[in-house]
Amino acid sequence: MNIFIFKILATLGFQLTMSEKSYIVPPLFSIIVLYMIDKRIRKKKK
């Protein structure tokens, strides 16, 4: 499951490599996605 998500993030990052935002957008996007996944995991543990 997690490996699949990282593959999606990687492909999104590589699609943006031609633009100037490519150094900013993928890290921010991945942080947001990982934060959302972390929230779900914490809710399941409670």
At 7-33, the pLDDT tens digits run 777 776 665 555 555 566 677 788 888
Helices vs. strands in the chain: H and E counts, helices first:
2, 0
| Residue 6 pLDDT greater than 80, yes or no | no
Q: What values do phi and psi take at 41, rounded to 5?
A: -65, -40
| Model-wide pTM > 0.85 | no
Would you place residue 45 in the very low, low, confident or very high pLDDT band (cuts 50, 70, 90)? confident
Say how many CA atoms lie within 13 Å of 33 toward its Cβ: 15
Distances (CA, A) of 35 to 17, 19, 24, 40, 42: 23, 25, 17, 9, 11
Give yes or no for residue 3 having a pLDDT over 80.
no
User: Residue 46: pLDDT band by 50, 70, 90 thresholds?
Assistant: confident
